[in-house]
Amino acid sequence: MVAAWAGVATWLLVSVRPPPLPIAALGAAIGVLIGWLQRRSVRAAPDAFASAASALEVRRAFKTNPAGRAAIAASWIGGVLLVLAALAQTGSVPLVFLAGYTSLLFMRDLLSLLPLD
């Protein structure tokens, strides 16, 4: 998925006029925050994540510790911030939003690939 998010974000940054660089940067920064919080959550409850067999069980595992709950909240807040930022920009609002959101997803998922130590 990391390659897919990177490809879509890059395509949007090249294709959309004017280029939505500020929104993509905001999305990337939020993605780093969420990825860092998710990594802390996995470190705090490795057994809960290892036994998770579905997306709902992974979400349940995130809810077992403060870092996971913060990651969930940051995902929602980040999405709202990106919508508001896209509405404030010129150009196609949906495409500008997608540039920011795919940048968020790219950075979040990229951090999840790093070893946990």
- Check residue 14 and give its pLDDT: 85
- Residue 16: the pLDDT is 86
Q: According to the model, what pLDDT value does residue 22 have?
A: 92
Query: If you average pLDDT over every residue of the chain, what do you get?
Result: 91
Q: What is the pLDDT of residue 12?
A: 85
The mean per-residue pLDDT over the stretch 6-34 comes to: 90
Q: What is the pLDDT of residues 51-103, one digit of tens each?
A: 999 999 999 999 999 999 999 999 999 999 999 999 998 878 999 999 999 99
Domain locations along the chain:
2-42+63-113
Band (4; pLDDT cuts 50, 70, 90): confident
pLDDT at 53: 92
Q: What does the pLDDT read at residue 117?
A: 66
- Please give the model's pTM, rounded to 2 decimal places: 0.88
Q: Is the pLDDT of residue 116 over 90?
A: no
- What distance in Å separates the CA atoms of residue 49 and residue 57, rounded to the nearest whole number? 8
